[in-house]
């Protein structure tokens, strides 16, 4: 078993070596494979070995592409047991294996994908019929870019595979957006000083047209507007704004919370996608801002009467949003917030080490969110993974009372926890 004793940063720097790794990627008959991607990743659960927060760190990988002779060289790969090497190339089955810490040269065999359904090929053109180079086209979740002649090709391995038109990064893109050629996502059409607007590059069909006041987040909608229509007026409703919204932020003990910035936020528009099993893609509009005073109070002006939420920004604040019950804004309002606390689970050697994940619950048994933070990003879920009975340092809300241990979704035990925003609490059996 790989040693997973808690590490300090000094331990890591003192005991980790780097070395060159090279090799060749070939077909089963020995011919070289050019353009294959080799990626070396850190061991699974490596982050769990640290006893301090890794908020400002990012999981690193090392990658390179094979040359015309199928060979590759990675200049400085960490010598750590459990590192993995993954080799991929379009139209070939991916290969993944644990990296031998003593190896300096490796040989990988890639196998072409065999398809009974055949090939799909075509060309992407713009509105005038000219080929579009570099357009992203997807058959399922793996997009391809068109060549200089606008052409693309797919090996179709699953006739029932989901199809989407195109992608910008990981976001599905409509035909209208690709024809526009600029600002593929969240394309905004500003009005002039007289409130006039023109939307170009549409297909001959009906659309929903939305106007968003970027100062207040107020929204007005016109449905079933045909492309080519002239003089389409979009009117904001009279009396849709509250002159002011006042309130107070308090912690779970009723004490005022000072220095928190609040901002009005709402969904400007959203749409669904079948990509990756179904996602809703959302564009947010942001409006008035304010900061709480020493007594926890705040005041926002010109706020929509419904359909908004308040986004909260504050140091060590776990609660980051407030939604009004039933969506109707009421003023004044008292907003309860929770502090961020840190825990690290270490039950290695106990019966609970068999668990593969943990949850946290409050006094009423409600499952709470846990957060994994790294590289200025936050991943939230109601469970987090364990490796050999250990977790990385996690953020939890201050009202958590128990850690629940599960193996294959079945509960195998619980331990009490007393969160403290001033320190990292280690949960042990």
Structure tokens at 355: 């668990």
Which residue segments constitute the domains of the chain, with CATH numbers given?
Answer: 9-112 (2.60.40.3330), 119-180 (no CATH), 241-336 (2.60.40), 340-427 (2.60.40)
Q: What is the pLDDT of residue 162?
A: 41
CA distances to 44, 241, 261, 389 from 384, in Å? 14, 42, 29, 12
Q: What is the pLDDT of residue 33?
A: 94
| Alpha carbon distance 211, 219 (integer Å) | 6
| Alpha carbon distance 354, 349 (integer Å) | 9
| Alpha carbon distance 221, 211 (integer Å) | 6
Q: What is the maximum span of the chain, computed from C-alpha positions, in angstroms?
A: 75
Tens-digit pLDDT profile for the chain (429 aa)?
A: 334 445 454 555 445 567 788 999 999 999 999 999 999 888 877 776 776 677 666 667 788 999 999 999 988 787 777 788 999 998 788 898 888 877 788 999 998 876 555 677 888 888 788 888 888 787 655 667 888 898 888 776 554 344 444 444 445 555 555 555 454 455 678 899 999 999 887 788 898 898 999 899 999 999 999 999 999 999 999 999 999 999 999 998 999 999 999 999 998 877 655 544 455 566 788 999 999 999 999 999 999 999 999 999 998 899 889 999 888 999 999 999 999 999 999 999 999 999 999 999 999 999 999 998 876 678 889 999 998 899 989 999 999 999 999 999 899 999 999 999 889 999 998
Q: What is the pLDDT of residue 4?
A: 43
Distance of CA 262 to the CA centre of its chain: 23
Helix (H) or strand (E) holding 316: none
Distance of CA 59 to the CA centre of its chain: 14
Q: What is the pLDDT of residue 213?
A: 93
Half-sphere exposure of residue 424: CA atoms within 13 angstroms, side-chain side = 16
Buried b (16+ CB within 10 A) or exposed e, 299-333: bbebbbbeebbbbbebeebbbbebebeeeebeeee
User: Is residue 294 within 8 Å of residue 257, measured between CB atoms?
Assistant: no
Cβ neighbours of residue 101 closer than 8 Å, sequence gap 6 or more: 79, 80, 81, 83
User: 3-state DSSP call for residue 200?
Assistant: coil
Q: What is the pLDDT of residue 80?
A: 75
| Closest among 317, 285, 292, 308 to 397, alpha carbons compared | 317
For the stretch 251-254, contacts whose Cβ atoms lie closer than 8 Å and that sit 24 or more positions apart, written own/partner, are 251/336, 251/337, 251/338, 251/339, 251/398, 252/336, 252/338, 252/398, 252/399
Cβ neighbours of residue 189 closer than 8 Å, sequence gap 6 or more: 197, 198, 199
Q: What is the pLDDT of residue 324?
A: 94
């Amino acid at each position: 078993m790989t040693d997973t004793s808690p590490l300090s940063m000094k331990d890591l720097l003192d005991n980790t070596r780097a070395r060159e790794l090279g090799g060749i990627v070939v077909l089963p008959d020995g011919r070289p494979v050019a353009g294959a991607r080799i990626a070396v990743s850190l061991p699974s659960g490596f982050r769990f070995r640290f006893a301090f927060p890794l908020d400002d760190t990012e999981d690193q990988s090392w990658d390179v592409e094979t040359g015309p002779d199928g060979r590759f060289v990675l200049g400085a790969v960490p010598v750590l047991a459990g590192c993995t090497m993954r080799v991929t190339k379009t139209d070939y089955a991916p290969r993944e294996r644990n990296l031998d810490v003593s190896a300096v040269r490796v040989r990988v065999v890639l196998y072409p994908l065999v398809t009974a359904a055949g090939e799909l090929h075509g060309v992407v053109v713009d509105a005038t019929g000219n080929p579009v180079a570099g357009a992203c086209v997807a058959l399922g979740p793996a997009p391809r870019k068109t060549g200089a002649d606008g052409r693309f090709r797919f090996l179709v391995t699953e006739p029932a595979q989901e199809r989407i038109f195109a992608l910008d990064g990981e976001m599905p893109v409509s035909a209208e957006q690709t024809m526009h050629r600029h600002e593929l996502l969240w394309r905004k059409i500003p009005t002039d000083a007289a409130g006039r607007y023109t939307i170009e590059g549409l297909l001959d069909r009906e659309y929903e047209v939305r106007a968003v006041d970027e100062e207040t987040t107020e929204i007005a909608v016109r449905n079933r507007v045909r492309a080519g229509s002239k003089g389409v007026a979009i009117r904001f409703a009279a009396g849709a704004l509250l002159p002011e919204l006042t309130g107070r932020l308090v912690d779970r003990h009723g004490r005022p919370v000072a220095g928190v910035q609040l901002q009005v936020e709402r969904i400007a528009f959203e749409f669904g996608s079948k990509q990756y099993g179904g996602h809703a893609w959302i564009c947010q509009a942001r409006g008035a801002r304010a900061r709480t005073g020493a007594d926890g109070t705040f005041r926002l002006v010109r706020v929509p009467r419904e359909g908004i939420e308040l986004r909260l920004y504050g140091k060590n604040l776990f609660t980051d949003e407030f939604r009004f019950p039933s969506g109707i804004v009421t003023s004044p309002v008292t907003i309860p917030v929770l502090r961020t606390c840190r825990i690290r689970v270490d039950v290695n050697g106990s019966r609970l080490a068999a668990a593969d994940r943990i949850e946290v619950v409050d006094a009423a048994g409600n499952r709470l969110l846990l957060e994994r933070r790294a590289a200025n990003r936050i991943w939230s879920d109601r469970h987090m993974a364990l490796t050999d009975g250990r977790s990385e340092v996690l953020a939890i809300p201050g009202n958590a009372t128990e850690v629940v241990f599960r193996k294959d979704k079945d509960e195998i035990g619980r331990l009490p926890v007393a969160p403290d925003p001033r320190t990292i609490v280690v949960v042990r059996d």
